Structure 1
Amino acid sequence: MNRPSASAGGSVGLQGVRVLDLSRLAPGPYCTMLLADMGAEVIVVGGGVGSLPIPVFLRGKKLISLDLKCDEGRRAFRRLAEDSDVVVEGYRPGVAARLGIDYDTLKAINPRLIYCSLTGYGQTGPLSQEAGHDINYAALSGALGAFGPVDNVPAFPLNLLADFAGGSLFATNGILCALYERERTGMGQYIDAAMVDGCLSLMAMHFADWGKPVLAARGDGLVAGTAPYYRCYLCADGKFVATGALERRFFENLWAGLGYDDPPPPHLDRSTWAAMTMRFKETFGLRTRDDWVAHFAGKDACVAPVLDPDEALAHSQNRGRHPAFGKDDAVKAPIMRATSGHTPDWDMTDRTEEMLSAAGLCLEEIEKAKAPAGNISGLAWPPL
């Protein structure tokens, strides 16, 4: 590779690493945004096979337009892959091979290439060709079947669990591991990242607990919403507080903070939960959310306000750590002291000619490889 490495004056962890991003919608683009935040050069290949990903995930990326349904577009992509480090794609199994841009094809021209296929069900198994979204993958993993409320329709946390936690973060972790291993072996590898697999891994603690008192049934357990000190309560103003006083000393602080004079009961004894819950509901209903939060400040009782997204954007804790945090720009995390904290810029310019010219293609080849005009427009999100 002839790309620059990090300078001595400002270390950027993945500077010099080039990523070709063929993914769409959320899981793949979020993964590659994280890589861009770490300093990688991420080239989003749009056009010809669908629109670009959700705009908020385009931070720090370069956009090009290739028609991968034509020979010229595929040849241009392979030329880029010769001098790239990572490819991320989210096609159904078999599609990349039919296009001639699969791992085996690209490995032949670049043995150091790390190729990550990020899908819902993975490359193998009876469901590998089935369509799905976050809710389906969370359902298959057992996670959705454990979420409350009790005796009602399962609840789910937006599309955070499978798309982002089980998908994006596990794929990013695999890519970083493969980059590190390549430093020792000199060889790339193939990564089969499935969102169901990530959810199964995330459920490890709860599989072992299922059916036991700590997680007796869906929505019924110590951290599932039925323990009176680990749940949310409605306050006088119609807003909510979240309590998480699992440890005994935190529970005792909560009990005292609620103004009770009688000794706190054995809080892990499930026989105390029903009466305690009713008592807590009545007490929390006497004051507003923010009054309770101010009252419990500094008391180590694990009480926090349940914020809506607008409130979270403005909260002093979040704003203090991330002053530039906003609706249209994701937080850069984690904060790393020795690695540059610079947040990549946004650039929606079509860089097709620039990138392909640098890869050695002539103008005529570039024109034939480009997708038809208009295909580089971003996905309209939200769709309503």
Structure 2
Amino acid sequence: MMQPLSGIKVLDLTNLLPGPLATLMLAEAGAEVLKIERPGGDDMRGYQPEWNGTGAAFGLLNRGKKSFILDLKSEKGADRLRLLLQDVDVLVEQFRPGIMDKLGFGYAAVREVNPHLIYCSITGYGQSGHRAQEAGHDLNYIGHTGLLALQPGPTDRPVVPPALIADIGGGTFPAVINILLALRQRDLTGQGCHLDIAMTDAMFTFAWHALARRFATERCPAPGESELCGGSPRYQLYPAKDGGLIACAALEDHFWRRFASVIGLDPTLTDDRRDPAATMAAVAALIATRSAAEWEPVFAKADCCLTIVRSLDDALSDPHFIQRGLFSRRLRGLDGGTMPALPLPIAPQFRGPADDEKPVPPLSQAETGW
């Protein structure tokens, strides 16, 4: 089967989440990915929970890749990498700025070996700027850019977000998008380039709604004030009688009025512009009179952007997601067992067969590199 990235060779010099997930997406679109691991292997191979001979998270993020152990600090390892670089299309690295230069594989040096190479660097703060050398993780990046401050939860019980927004939304997705753009540009010019992907940069994109208010009014919304961060009764989480949560996203008037009608909201409170807090309190009181299971058929019939907050287990068994084939692809473990592969936002026609089964790469699987 010919896929969009068939024939594209990718060197993956990354670990943890942003880079491995980016190269996984490239692999799923047909690229051949060689994961370069240090002696002893990627730390994530030992992360818990262990599954079928390796860390489960490592398996999910590295399905279908090949692995090759290289000590880039040794002369032999460096020589082998130089040979590999002569015949590769994309290199993805995730070291702090300057580390690849110290190893002798910064972009300027690599470009001399392969001027057609797309060289993608993923870091927290980018290759330049006074924060470039700062250590950090996802929570630091969303905290540093003002995104977390839009809704940190109550000051006495702040909430850690359930998604790694910076890693995936600021690292993986921009890396994949820009690698594909760079490959297209190379088709036109024949030249490679260096991509500087800073996870923090994209966090301002995620704050688009707050930025619109800030630029237009010269005032940033306070924590929880923005309509999309808890400041509106129309976009809110409401506890039901049994403790289940109702996700209300009835933003548009026709949805909101339908919702207000089915719960029996006092008509004087339907216009939530008058006193949003009073409307929110009244809605909360009404929702709390029934269990989530009792509300579910009511909201389903009303079709007004109201859903029950599901557990992950419930979501995995939802017929809709099963019918969409999100879990049809399989990961084969080192010991031969299988589990569902990580669902990815890549159109099915660009991936392999829906029932394909790809393995976790064993260490140094590729004897010659490829």
TM-score range, shorter chain: 0.7 to 0.9
Q: Distance in 2 between matches of 1:279 and 1:201?
A: 34
After superposition, give the CA deviation of every residue in 1:215-235 in whole Å (9 maximum; x if it has no partner): 731111211112112111111
Cα drift, residue 29 of structure 1 = 0.7
Of 233, 236, 254, the residue aligned with 1:249 is 254
User: Closer, same or farther in 2 for the Cα pair 1:311/1:142, shift >3 Å?
Assistant: same
User: Match of 1:201?
Assistant: 205
**Range with bigger deviation, 79-88 or 216-225:** 216-225
Identical residues among aligned pairs (%): 33
Deviation at 1:201, TM superposition (A): 2.5
2:343 aligned residue:
331
User: Using the alignment, how far apart are the partners of 2:43 and 2:123 within structure 1?
Assistant: 17
Unaligned segments of structure 1, at least 5 residues: 1-9, 359-384
Query: Deviation string for 1:284-334 (max 9, x for gaps)?
Result: 112221322222114221001212222221222222212526986211323
Check whether the contact 1:31–1:172 (CA below 8 A) recurs between aligned residues: yes
Q: Does 1:350 align with 2:363?
A: yes
1:302 matched to 2:314? The reply is: no
The alignment status of 1:172 with 2:163, answered yes or no, reads no
- The yes-or-no answer on 1:119 pairing with 2:123 is yes
Q: 1:14-29 residue pairs with structure 2 within 5 A? A: 14-29=5-20
- Hey, what's the Cα distance between the residues in 2 that align with 1:249 and 1:181? 45
Given the alignment of the two structures, is residue 67 of structure 1 paired with residue 77 of structure 2, yes or no?
Answer: no
- Structure with more relative contact order (C-alpha pairs < 8 Å, separation 6 or more): 1
Q: Tell me the secondary structure at the aligned position of residue 217 of structure 1.
A: coil
- Note the aligned Cα RMSD (angstroms): 2.5
Distance 1:276 1:207 in 2: 26
Q: 1:237 maps to what in 2?
A: 242
- 1:134 positional shift: 0.5
TM-score, scaled to structure 2: 0.86
**Residue in 2 that maps onto 1:321:** 324
Equivalent-residue separation in structure 1 for 2:301 and 2:349 (angstroms): 28
CA distance in 2, matches of 1:29, 1:353: 18
| Partner of residue 259, structure 1 | 264
Find the residue that maps to 1:107 and give its secondary structure: helix
Change (3 A) 1:156 1:353: closer
Distance 1:49 1:128, change over 3 A: farther
Distance in 2 (alpha carbons) for counterparts of 1:60 and 1:41: 9
Deviations 1:100-123 (A, max 9, x none): 122212111111100111000111
Cα deviation, residue 158, structure 1: 3.2
Alignment of 1:1-384 (within 5 A): 10-48=1-39, 51-53=42-44, 54-55=57-58, 56-149=60-153, 151=155, 154-210=158-214, 216-260=221-265, 262=267, 265-267=270-272, 269=273, 271-322=274-325, 324=327, 329-337=341-349, 340-342=352-354, 345-356=358-369
Where in structure 2 are there 5+ consecutive unaligned residues?
Answer: 45-56, 331-338
Q: CA deviation at 1:185?
A: 0.5
Indicate the residue corresponding to 1:374 in structure 2.
Answer: none
SS in structure 1 of the partner of residue 42 of structure 2: coil
In the alignment of these two chains, the number of paired residues is 346
Runs of 4+ in structure 1 over 6 Å off: none
Aligned residue identity for 2:103: L
Secondary structure of the residue that 1:224 maps to in structure 2?
helix
Shift of residue 147, structure 1, vs aligned partner:
1.7
Q: 1:146 to 1:236 in 2, by over 3 A?
A: same
Change over 3 Å in CA distance of 1:112–1:34 after alignment to 2? same
Q: What SS class does the counterpart of residue 100 from structure 1 fall into? A: coil
195-204 vs 49-58, which deviates more?
49-58
Q: Alpha carbons of 1:50 and 1:99: their partners in 2 closer, same or farther (altered >3 Å)?
A: farther
